[in-house]
Amino acid sequence: MLVPLYGFLKGDTLGLIVLVDDHQPVRDITASLQQAAAPRVPPASHASVYFKGKRLEPHLTVGQAGLEPLDRVDVVPEEGDGV
């Protein structure tokens, strides 16, 4: 099932809606959001996804992480990488 998420990339001025499948790993959220924001923010090679202030494990699926339609996620590049 496709899950629309509100995504916010550190360093970007816009929030974006990204569509991910509930069977995709959380790390795919990072790639999708960085690709969509690339005209404004250069992609980082390593970034983490946060939901409700907690870092999500990148190997979990979107469904396993408990993400539901229109939840907010934040993507934060790791220190010294990108932004």
**Tens of pLDDT, residues 17-66:** 999 999 999 999 999 999 999 999 999 999 999 999 999 999 999 999 99
Show the DSSP H helices in the chain as ranges.
27-37
In a domain, 7, yes or no: yes
Asked whether the beta carbons of 47 and 78 are under 8 A apart, the reply is yes
pTM: 0.89
Q: Is residue 34 part of a domain?
A: yes
- For 17, the domain range is 1-40
- Measure the N-to-C terminal CA separation of the chain; round to a whole number of Å: 32
Number of domains in the chain: 1
Q: Is residue 33 part of a domain?
A: yes
| Residue 79, in any domain of the structure | no
The DSSP bridge pattern shows strands 54-55 and 47-51 to be antiparallel
User: Residue 80 domain-assigned?
Assistant: no
Does the residue 32 lie in any domain? Answer: yes
Whether 62 is covered by a domain: the verdict is no
